Amino acid sequence: MTEPGPHPAGRLKIILGYAAGVGKTFKMLEEGQQLQRDGHDVVVGYFEPHGRQDTIAKIEGLELIPRRTIDYRGRTFEEMDTPAILARQPETCLVDEFPHTNVPGVERGKRWEDVMALLDAGIDVYTTMNIQHLESLNDQMREITGIQVRETIPDWVVKQAAELVLVDVPPTALLNRLQRGVVYAPDKAQRAIQNFFKEPALAALRELAMRQAAHEVDVRHTETEPIVHSEHTATNGNRETLREKILIHISESPTTAGLIRRGRRVADYLQADCFAVCILPVADLSQLPAPARLALEQHLEFARKLRVETRVLEGEDQAAALVEFARRNGVTQIFLSKPPKRLVGLVVLRDFVMKVVRLASDMQVTVVAERASRLG
């Protein structure tokens, strides 16, 4: 008798929205109910109702895995009990709030990491998230809303989804729900309307969510397995696929994180290879002063987190070394940070940028300025 082989990986389905209250959790539970009616083994791994009665009603009849309690700094927190779900081994698990950060004491730092563990165990997962938590859009979110989103999900994680559903509600309808107390209690709703829930910001977020859904259709339209659809709209366009290669210049500048996000997102849209390259007089970070070394290490680690291939190269003439690497590796686009006016050594950095532009005349060079917030 042969022993059973390892579980095939579970399938991930992401239910995407652009703001709280559009109906993501309701949709997830509704689909869970339908799966159960069709005879599938479904559990709710984590569910956050926010007091919404119509959403709470959708939990009826579904098996709910009790949360685990974690004591941290004199307070008690509740988190998803991933070990209990793995022991239960359901066919499908419903997991709310995909971008959530776990309290210290949990095996993994992020809920998306818990979801990956469930998928590795062969469990299908349905989960929810808003577009503002996508890592590559972090700078745009700050520009649109004036708020820095701290909980983000790497784009490569979202790309693991076999299916993505966009739950769409017009901003006017969402604001009406907010004012009627459907989304939050009245006092919290008023604070939300004065801050995040402003119609221009909601409209911009909605457009980004719809573009993301359409982009996923565009990228995957030749594949038979992954599915992307929207309850309102998502278009499938045909675009000639060019063999592009993106190079992102890594410096100690604080604008580098935004540059990495921008380059990674363009690479994703173009389905291009992506490099992040740091040029030093001596290719040894340990030889640098502590502030510069820590900044570069942080940027390089961030690039790796977004699954960008990183290199630390040696070159006295940094611009020439960068362009030589680009040409040797068939790079078609170079992304550079525009030096902020307040930065020390501004003249040197401007000279570097201009020299790269001059040397890389056969490539597209994009100089990215630091984003400023639209809303004060």
Both structure tokens of 205? 């977020």
Question: Is the domain defined by 12-230 classed in CATH 3.40.50.300?
Answer: yes
Closest CA to 247 of 353, 364, 134, 346: 364
Is there a common fold for 12-230 and 245-368? yes
pTM, entire model = 0.68
Q: What is the chain's pLDDT, residue by residue, as a tens digit (376 residues)?
A: 344 445 688 999 999 998 888 999 999 999 999 999 999 999 999 998 877 788 888 899 999 999 999 999 999 999 999 999 999 999 999 999 999 999 999 999 999 999 999 999 999 999 999 999 999 888 888 888 888 888 999 989 998 899 989 898 888 888 888 888 778 777 777 777 767 788 888 888 888 888 887 777 665 554 444 444 444 433 333 333 446 899 999 998 888 998 998 888 888 888 889 999 999 988 788 888 898 889 999 999 999 988 899 999 988 899 999 999 999 888 999 999 876 554 444 455 678 888 998 899 888 888 887 654 444 4
Q: DSSP readout, 95-120?
A: ES-TTPBPPBTBSSSBHHHHHHHHHH
Q: What is the pLDDT of residue 11?
A: 95
Which of 96-99's residues contact partners 24+ apart within 8 Å by CB, and which partners? 96/25, 96/28, 96/46, 96/47, 96/48, 96/127, 96/128, 97/46, 97/48, 97/128, 97/129, 98/14, 98/127, 98/128, 98/129, 98/133, 98/153, 99/129, 99/130, 99/133, 99/151, 99/152, 99/153
Radius of gyration of the chain (CA): 23
pLDDT at 177: 83
Q: What is the pLDDT of residue 375?
A: 42
Among 100, 109, 103, 102, smallest CA distance to 72 is for: 103
pLDDT of residue 82: 97
Sheet containing 364-368, strands listed edge to edge, beginning at the edge strand earlier in sequence: 309-314, 273-280, 245-249, 333-337, 364-368
DSSP 4-27: P-PPPPPPEEEEEESSTTSSHHHH
**Count of all residues that appear for the chain in the document:** 376
User: Other C-beta atoms within 10 Å of 288: how many?
Assistant: 17
What CATH fold (topology level) applies to the domain 245-368?
Rossmann fold (3.40.50)
DSSP character string of 53-80: HHHHHTTTTSEEPPPEEEEETTEEEEE-
Domain boundaries, the chain: 12-230, 245-368
